[in-house]
């Protein structure tokens, strides 16, 4: 019997320690694409499986938030939205903002939530946060359809709203929000494995960030009313995405090219830093979770 037949066996897959500090592992992620889609299906089905209203929560949350914002910020505080109905103005910003917050909060405890699976079965760990970002697109799609329904209603009511040539790039804005949420989520998830306080602070931080992202007011307002503090919004990349969204969908405001370049640059940096820290943490997180 030839011993070389036993020692030179060709394996289909070989699991070895990762030596690279930074790696996208796109080839490996593609090999596990079926598992990725299973996680996407799991995220969609199980989130509201044992709730009474089920997917209706996708609709209730943005509608009630828009109504409250309209009453408090537009009726009581008197924030003007020009010719655009205040409710539609708020709904446009909230719809895009919700996608970002869903991606951020759902991926921010990836290691903690999936420690049991990670400790037993091997697969590219980055698949888990990617599946969350993809599954949240369904939630975003439902909320965007609701926005379009109100858009059509107000349009036939004579509201001065209109789409423009820039609207075709709207999916890129959505992708930008998803990637930014993914990068921040992976970074925070890595910190949560050692510092549990971050899991409690994320909810408060997201609420605070919303007020600094021009979700319920135009950026021009903060520049004119509070010029000394306008930099807090101007250096927030999310504010430019919200402002550009309103221009693309409602025809209000303007597109800041420099602002978008700044947003894209920050998103790329945050994503790669988050991935770098995520890849480093996955090697030893099981000892600290």
> Mean pLDDT across the chain, nearest whole number?
84
Alpha carbons within 13 angstroms on the beta-carbon side of residue 229 total 8
| 221-274 tens-digit pLDDT | 888 888 888 898 999 999 999 999 999 999 888 889 999 999 999 999 999 999
pTM, entire model: 0.85
DSSP 54: G
Tell me the percentage of the chain whose pLDDT exceeds 90: 42
Average of pLDDT values for 15-32? 64
Residue 219 and residue 239 in contact, taking contact as beta carbons nearer than 8 Å: yes
Residue 245 and residue 92 in contact, taking contact as beta carbons nearer than 8 Å: yes
Residue 194 and residue 116 in contact, taking contact as beta carbons nearer than 8 Å: no
* SS3 category, 65: helix
pLDDT-based confidence at 55, cuts 50/70/90?
Answer: low
Average of pLDDT values for 107-115? 80
pLDDT of 96: 94
* Token code pair at residue 125: 């760990």
pLDDT of 29: 76
Least Cα distance to 128 among 46, 188, 185, 66 occurs for: 185
> Is the pLDDT confidence value at 19 over 70?
no
- Tokens 């693309």, residue located: 248
pLDDT-based confidence at 155, cuts 50/70/90?
Answer: very high
pLDDT of 36: 84
| 177-200 tens-digit pLDDT | 999 999 999 999 888 887 777 777
| 223-233 tens-digit pLDDT | 888 888 889 89
Instruction: Provide φ and ψ at 34, rounded to 5°.
Output: -65, -40
Q: How far from 10 is each of 4, 29, 211, CA to CA, in Å?
A: 12, 22, 57
């Amino acid at each position: 019997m030839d011993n070389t037949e036993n020692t030179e066996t060709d394996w289909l897959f070989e699991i070895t320690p990762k030596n690279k500090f930074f790696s996208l592992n796109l080839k490996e992620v593609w090999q596990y694409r079926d598992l990725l889609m299973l996680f996407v299906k799991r995220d969609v089905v199980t989130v509201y499986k044992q709730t009474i209203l089920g997917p209706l929560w996708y609709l209730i949350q943005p509608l009630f938030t828009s109504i409250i914002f309209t009453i408090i910020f537009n009726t009581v505080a008197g924030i003007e939205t020009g010719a655009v109905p205040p409710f539609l103005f708020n709904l446009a910003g909230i719809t895009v903002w919700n996608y970002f917050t869903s991606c951020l909060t759902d991926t921010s405890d990836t290691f903690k939530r999936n420690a049991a699976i990670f400790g037993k079965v091997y697969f590219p760990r980055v698949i888990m946060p990617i599946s969350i970002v993809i599954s949240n697109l369904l939630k975003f799609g439902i909320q965007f359809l609701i926005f379009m329904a109100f858009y059509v209603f107000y349009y036939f009511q004579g509201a001065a709203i209109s789409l423009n040539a820039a609207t075709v790039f709207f999916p890129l804005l959505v992708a930008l929000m998803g990637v930014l949420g993914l990068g921040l989520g992976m970074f925070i998830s890595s910190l949560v494995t050692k510092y549990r306080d971050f899991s409690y602070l994320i909810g408060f931080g997201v609420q605070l960030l919303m007020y600094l992202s021009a979700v319920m007011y135009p950026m021009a307002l903060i520049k004119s009313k509070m010029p000394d503090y306008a930099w807090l919004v101007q250096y927030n990349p999310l504010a430019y995405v919200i402002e550009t969204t309103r221009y693309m969908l409602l025809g209000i405001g303007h597109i800041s090219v420099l602002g978008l370049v700044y947003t894209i640059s920050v998103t790329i940096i945050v994503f790669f830093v988050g991935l770098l820290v995520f890849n480093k943490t996955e090697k030893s997180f099981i000892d600290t979770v």
